[in-house]
């Protein structure tokens, strides 16, 4: 299997996991605060990567200057990205959050052009716009329920999207310098330390430290936090870093729109939300945008090779 094909499989897997993660976050927020959710999520993720290192006998050598280079990336993802995401999801629906995060390709395309000199072809630009229009179409057709959501929550999710866009651009460079396991380990460690520090500190100030593990009394929370910790945090870090080591940032980011479609479909299947014609139309536009962006990118590469 070629590297390109593996990268696309990783990107699709990333979109699938992210698309479903919004539902699982909503489950955890029924019994835990946003910071508790993030603390337990990254505790599970950190335990997972430590177990992986032990069983695979991989040895990581991370020096101080390496840590300083990777730290800005870790601040963007997972710290800033997940903090704003979970704060937004505490205020708006998962479908709305997924729709707002479909703005990631717009920001990434602009940043990649400015910082990485990745020039999108006319076909790629049209495909991305077409995909985003599909999301905007669904947003408008949803009517009052989607447009009168909490402004603060929507703002948090938008900030999360911007953080993801900046991450897509900077991760493109670091994946050329460090192994995927090294990047994933440092990013997970930062999430574990910072989110647990905030959550435990908050409980200590309130004198409620005995309630820190209380959410684990709920089976639904355990299942959701295992998914979020092992797949959505640990798994997506590895998958996105792998895909970005091969694909251009602008190509990778458009898969966030596919994640939006998955989020909406998951809401229909598991939350029994209504499915209307505009969902189908918007969904087709999103998928066509994802396919088109990558098709025109491959076509450009083929043309360059011929020259």
pLDDT of residue 298: 57
Q: What is the DSSP string of 255-301?
A: HHHHHHHHHHHHHHHHS-----HHHHHHHHHHHHHHHHHHHHHHHHH
85 membership: H or E segment, kind and range: helix 81-89
User: Percent of the chain at pLDDT above 90?
Assistant: 31
Phi, psi dihedrals of residue 122, rounded to the nearest 5°: -60, -40
C-alpha torsion angle, residues 273, 220, 234, 211 (rounded to 10): 130
Q: Which residues contact 305 (CB under 8 A, 6 or more apart)?
A: none
- Tell me the two tokens of residue 263: 């989020």
Separation CA 50–CA 239 (nearest Å) = 18
pLDDT of residue 95: 76
Q: Which long-range contacts (CB under 8 A, 24 or more apart) does 143-150 make?
A: 146/95, 146/96, 146/99, 149/91, 149/92, 149/93, 149/96, 150/91, 150/92
The distance from CA 18 to its chain's CA centroid, rounded to whole angstroms, is 6
Q: Which residues contact 6 (CB under 8 A, 6 or more apart)?
A: 242, 246
- Tell me the two tokens of residue 157: 């999710």
With 0-12 / 13-18 / 19 or more C-beta atoms within 10 angstroms meaning exposed / middle / buried, residue 71 is middle
Q: Residues 236-261: pLDDT tens digits?
A: 877 887 887 888 766 776 777 778 78
Instruction: Assess contact for 296 and 304: CB atoms under 8 A.
Output: no
Q: Residues 168-209: pLDDT tens digits?
A: 888 877 878 888 788 889 999 999 999 999 999 999 999 999
pLDDT of residue 287: 77
Separation CA 227–CA 248 (nearest Å) = 28
- Tell me the two tokens of residue 94: 């998962």
Separation CA 114–CA 301 (nearest Å) = 20
In three-state secondary structure terms, 65 is helix
In three-state secondary structure terms, 95 is helix
Phi, psi dihedrals of residue 2, rounded to the nearest 5°: -70, 160
Separation CA 218–CA 114 (nearest Å) = 47
Residues in the chain: 307
Separation CA 43–CA 259 (nearest Å) = 25
Give the chain's residues under pLDDT 70: 1, 139, 142-150, 249-250, 253, 271, 273-274, 294, 297-307
- Tell me the two tokens of residue 196: 């647990």
Separation CA 81–CA 88 (nearest Å) = 11
């Amino acid at each position: 299997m070629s590297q390109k094909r593996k990268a696309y499989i990783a990107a699709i897997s990333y979109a699938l996991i992210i698309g479903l993660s919004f539902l699982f976050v909503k489950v955890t927020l029924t019994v835990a605060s946003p910071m508790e959710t993030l603390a337990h999520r990254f505790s599970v993720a950190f335990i997972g990567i430590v177990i992986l290192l032990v069983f695979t006998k991989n040895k990581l050598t991370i020096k101080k200057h390496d840590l300083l280079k990777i730290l800005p990336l870790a601040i963007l993802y997972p710290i800033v990205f997940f903090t704003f995401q979970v704060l937004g999801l505490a205020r708006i629906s998962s479908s709305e959050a997924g729709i707002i995060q479909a703005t990631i390709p717009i920001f990434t395309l602009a940043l990649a052009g400015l910082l990485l000199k990745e020039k999108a072809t006319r076909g790629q630009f049209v495909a991305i716009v077409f995909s985003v229009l599909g999301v905007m179409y669904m947003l408008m057709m949803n009517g009052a329920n989607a447009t009168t959501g909490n402004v603060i929550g929507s703002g948090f999710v938008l900030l999360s999207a911007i953080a993801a866009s900046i991450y897509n651009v900077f991760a493109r460079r670091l994946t050329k310098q460090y192994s995927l396991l090294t990047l994933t380990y440092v990013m997970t460690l930062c999430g574990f330390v910072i989110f647990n520090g905030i959550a435990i500190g908050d409980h200590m100030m309130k004198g409620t430290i005995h309630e820190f593990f209380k959410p684990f009394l709920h089976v639904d929370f355990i299942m959701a936090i295992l998914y979020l910790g092992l797949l959505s945090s640990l798994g997506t870090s590895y998958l996105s870093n792998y895909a970005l080591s091969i694909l251009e940032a602008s190509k990778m980011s458009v898969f966030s729109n596919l994640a939006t479609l998955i989020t909406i479909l998951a809401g229909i299947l598991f939350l029994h939300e209504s499915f209307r014609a505009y969902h189908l139309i918007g969904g087709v536009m999103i998928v066509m945008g994802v396919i088109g962006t990558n098709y025109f990118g491959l076509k450009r590469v083929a043309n360059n090779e011929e020259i």
